[in-house]
Amino acid sequence: MIRIIHFFVRQRLFINLLVVMILLAGTTTILRMNREAFPNVNFDRVSITTLYPGASPDEIEQLVSVPIEKELRSISGLDKVNSYNLENISVFVLEIDPNASDKKKIIQDIKDAVDATIDDLPDNSELPVVEEITFDTQPVVDVALYGGGGGLEGYRKLRQTAQHLEDYIYDIDGVAEVELFGYRDREYLVEVQPERLRKDRIGFNDVINAIANRNLNLPGGVIRKGPNEYLLRTKEQYKNTTEIENTVVQANIGGGVLRVRDLASVLDTYEEPDLLERFGGQPAIIMKVWKKQEADMLVLADTIKNELHRYEKTHLPEGVKLQFFNDQSRFVRTRLSSLLVNGGIGFVLLAVTLILILGVRMSMIVGMSIPVAFMVAFMGMSAVGITLNVVSMFALVMVLGMIVDFSIVVAENGFRYMEEGMNRIEAVELGTAEVFWPVTTTLLCITAAFFPLLYMTGIVGKFVWSIPMVIILCLTASWFAAMFILPSHLETFARVNDADRLENKGSDEGEDYASSGGFFGTLTNRYASFLSFCLSHRYGAVGALILAFIFSLVLAGSALGFVFFPGGGGEGILVRTRMPQGTNLQTNLEAMKPLEQLAVK
């Protein structure tokens, strides 16, 4: 080991170039790392959602949930199957066995099982939606389109704007999905007049069949003629109300024709809403924008806002307004900024402590290992897929105080030999080699303490996985900087004057903190006296430590509570109201309008 240390101490140019390369590579890595609220976690959970409008919870259970549950029983690898039967909706949450070897196959088996139940579900129910619950895609910001003048024409303007804006947002790089709320599908409403049906002896089904047979989009095969192929398709879908009104329902031999307009009125409208979205006291369409896994939330949020502000100035119709809310990037920015501020304060306190104890020059030599260690750690974080999020930043702040420990030990030991009069290179080599195994053993012990956290199971284990990984990466990088980079800097920059020799016990820069004078001298002398007392009464000292340890365990078990994620102050208010069963949406809206007006004020 002395030969390796000897090489690094004497290769100053190589070490300096290595440091520059590490700093450049680390800076590039930081700039490319994604910033987000939480790490990308796969919960090993799958949801199955089936909508059945108008159904009661009992009907949902018997007609939707039971057929799906029967098919799911044949799937191996499921740990739990949770079913929730609510009005209009059936929800399954499936928990995959964390020890399963092929989880992708289990997810595919779930999709196949759900597909097998489609024929058994009610005709009016929608197709089941199978989704894997992950943090791969995360919401970025909600966009509210509101105004437009009210009424059907106002909503038509709002809806057309939402259609165009949705395509506009999808063109932004990094957007995974745009989810629309309050967006109703277009429909033509044919209101048949019963008296006309009776007068002309036309059945209701005759009208239905006439419209269905006219509204077609069917492939008709391929005609091959010479080198060419012609695709045949019947495209007769309705494009407006006039085409529906002109549809022939019945024709007689005499040339008489009954059309839809003779029997019914046709309205160009939209489906009945099952959810009313409002913003600022006006009808609205809400657009929730989701990011791709590889997208940076802060960059994407800023891009979306800039693009939509440009869209607002150039494309937004008169009377339609656009507003951002639920901006998740703001929470991410606040949390990361808070952690950075705390980390900065910790760094300043650390620097002050080093200067007071080691002196300015030695503290600068030791402090040079901090950016090197962090840059190496950032490269390691990027290699294992860790992003800059609340959890990983917390680990970085937590390890800040430990990251200089190895460098302090190496620098102090090498400097001690310099003070004893040894040649600078020999002092650094001997001082580093002497503490190599103690420092390495310390690294291994700390790693062993955090290593089990890497194998925690469940959702909690996946969330906290990055904490031990970041700590291990930082401490390993710190060990590398202390063992192979700091010795060269120590040999180059450390200064030992004649007055600093141990014979004189003096230091203008405070580097000889073991001197008998001053605050640190008094502290050192008292520590030496206390240490001598403990060694003279070693059994009593060990017994006192054991008692203190037992007392701390009792105190932790009886007086201290445990909360994994402490609750914080809310940033919003959610108001729930309970109305009599069967209350329609419009009545609900009227009941909520006083609260809405109060909130708008």
582-600 residues labelled b (16+ CB within 10 A) or e (exposed): eeeeeeeeeebeeebeeee
Task: State percent of the chain over pLDDT 70.
Answer: 94
Same domain, 434 and 348: yes
What backbone torsions phi and psi does residue 454 show, to the nearest 5 degrees? Answer: -65, -20
Tokens 């309705």 belong to which residue?
Answer: 238
Q: Which amino acid is at 264?
A: A
Averaged pLDDT, 240-256: 83
Q: Which amino acid is at 291?
A: K
Averaged pLDDT, 73-84: 89
**No. of helices (H) and no. of strands (E), the chain:** 23, 15
277 lies in some domain? no
Same domain, 386 and 421: yes
Q: Which CATH number is 102's domain given?
A: 3.30.70.1430
Same domain, 223 and 128: no
Domain-ending residue, one of 481, 496, 511: 496
Q: Name the nearest CA neighbour of 354 among 511, 527, 523, 521.
A: 511
502 lies in some domain? no
Which residue has better confidence, 565 or 486? 486
pLDDT in tens, 290-331: 998 888 888 999 999 999 999 999 888 888 999 999 898 888
Against a cut of 0.85, is the pTM above it? no
Residues 6+ apart with CB under 8 A from 572: none
Q: What is the mean pLDDT of the chain?
A: 85
Q: Which of 122-131, 276-285, 427-436, 572-581 has the lowest mean pLDDT?
A: 572-581
169 lies in some domain? no
Same domain, 460 and 418: yes
What pLDDT does 565 receive?
A: 61
Q: Name the nearest CA neighbour of 376 among 233, 472, 506, 264.
A: 472
Strand-pair category, 228-235 with 217-225: antiparallel
259 forms beta bridges with 248
Same domain, 253 and 194: yes
Determine how many CB atoms are found less than 10 A away from the CB of residue 82: 11
Domain-ending residue, one of 270, 288, 320: 270
Which residue has better confidence, 488 or 2? 488
Strand-pair category, 78-86 with 138-147: unpaired
Q: Give me the number of domains the chain comprises.
A: 3
Cα R_g (the chain), whole angstroms? 36
151 lies in some domain? no
Q: Name the nearest CA neighbour of 91 among 129, 135, 41.
A: 129
Would you give the DSSP letter of residue 388? B
What pLDDT does 275 receive?
A: 81
Same domain, 243 and 385: no
Same domain, 209 and 247: yes
**pLDDT above 60 (res 134):** yes
Instruction: Answer for the pair 258, 200: CB distance below 8 angstroms, yes or no.
Output: yes
Same domain, 123 and 236: no
What pLDDT does 412 receive?
A: 87
CA–CA gap between residue 421 and residue 123 (Å, rounded): 93
**pLDDT above 70 (res 177):** yes
- 398 by Cβ neighbours in 10 Å (0-12 / 13-18 / 19+) ranks as middle
pLDDT in tens, 398-436: 888 788 889 989 988 888 888 888 888 888 889 999 999
What pLDDT does 18 receive?
A: 92
Which helix (H) or strand (E) segment holds residue 415: the answer is helix 405-419
- Dump the DSSP string for 200-229: HT--HHHHHHHHHHHS-EEEEEEEEETTEE
472 lies in some domain? yes
Which residue has better confidence, 215 or 45? 45
CA–CA gap between residue 85 and residue 62 (Å, rounded): 10
Same domain, 393 and 256: no
Token digits of residue 379: 């490269």
What pLDDT does 308 receive?
A: 93
Instruction: Write the secondary structure of 543-566 as one string of H (helix), E (strand) and C (coil).
Output: HHHHHHHHHHHHHHHHCCCCCCCC
Same domain, 106 and 59: yes
280 lies in some domain? no
CA–CA gap between residue 593 and residue 533 (Å, rounded): 77
Same domain, 257 and 358: no
Token digits of residue 368: 């040079």
Same domain, 340 and 475: yes
Q: Which of 346-360, 401-415, 443-457, 501-515 has the lowest mean pLDDT?
A: 501-515
Tokens 């629309």 belong to which residue?
Answer: 180
What backbone torsions phi and psi does residue 381 show, to the nearest 5 degrees? Answer: -60, -45
Instruction: Answer for the pair 400, 345: CB distance below 8 angstroms, yes or no.
Output: no
Q: Which CATH number is 217's domain given?
A: 3.30.2090.10
596 lies in some domain? no
Q: Which domain holds residue 238?
A: 186-270
47 forms beta bridges with 93, 131
Token digits of residue 584: 């329609």
* Phi and psi based region of residue 174 (left: phi greater than 0; alpha: psi -120 to 50; beta: remaining): left
Q: Which of 57-61, 131-135, 340-344 is most confident?
A: 57-61
pLDDT in tens, 495-525: 776 555 544 444 444 444 444 455 667 888 8
pLDDT in tens, 561-589: 766 666 655 667 888 888 887 788 888 88
What pLDDT does 419 receive?
A: 81
Instruction: Answer for the pair 53, 88: CB distance below 8 angstroms, yes or no.
Output: yes
CA–CA gap between residue 519 and residue 513 (Å, rounded): 9
294 lies in some domain? no
Q: Which CATH number is 405's domain given?
A: 1.20.1640.10
Instruction: Answer for the pair 501, 426: CB distance below 8 angstroms, yes or no.
Output: no
Domain-ending residue, one of 496, 520, 548: 496
